[in-house]
Amino acid sequence: MLRITKLSDYAVVVLQNLAACQDPSCDCTSREVAERTGIPRPTVSKVMKDLARGGLLVSQRGALGGFCLAREPARITLAEIIEAVEGPIALTECSAAADGNCDFTGACPVEENWLRINQVVRRALDDISLADMARPLSRSLVNLGRSPLGEPAAASEEP
């Protein structure tokens, strides 16, 4: 089963919490975010450090320090969030085998299909921003270009 890990899910919640701050210049500590979200403080600290290392948060040290978003929520994608916490998005080993770890690279009969599927998933995650995650789900949030039966999808309209 493919699934987004808890850490990636928590990262979205943490970023969403920071985005909801009334004062855009506010620096929030991991303690404050943990209290507001209910996520354990050690987990929030780890996630916030990963997000800062990934360039999605800016940290300020000192008594008045804390974390704030590095960009506005509309310019932070789900793909960036997942990669900051988990590393490169790869559905299969060959999708992550840029370094040549797969023994069958170039000889696998399904390699190109997995790479294509990985690209589609990556594009879908790139097309959804942190700001999108704050809004109720729209039917047109993700359009992968095909209906469930494999036929081209009809253009979706906003409700």
The residue extents of the domains of the chain are 1-88+129-138
CATH number of 1-88+129-138: 1.10.10.10
- For residue 93, the model assigns a pLDDT of 75
Neighbours of 65 (CB within 10 A): 11
Task: Please say whether the beta carbons of 70 and 41 come within 8 A.
Answer: no
Question: What H or E segment, with its residue span, contains residue 67?
Answer: strand 66-69
Per-residue pLDDT tens, the chain, 159 aa: give them: 568 899 999 999 999 999 987 565 678 899 999 999 999 999 999 999 999 999 999 988 866 678 999 999 999 999 999 999 999 888 887 777 555 567 777 788 888 898 899 999 999 999 999 999 988 766 665 555 555 555 555 544 444
pTM metric for this prediction? 0.79
- For residue 40, the model assigns a pLDDT of 97
Task: Please say whether the beta carbons of 155 and 108 come within 8 A.
Answer: no
Q: How far apart are CA 54 and CA 42, in angstroms?
A: 18
Q: Classify burial at 144, counting beta carbons within 10 Å of its beta carbon; exposed 0-12, middle 13-18, buried 19 or more.
A: exposed
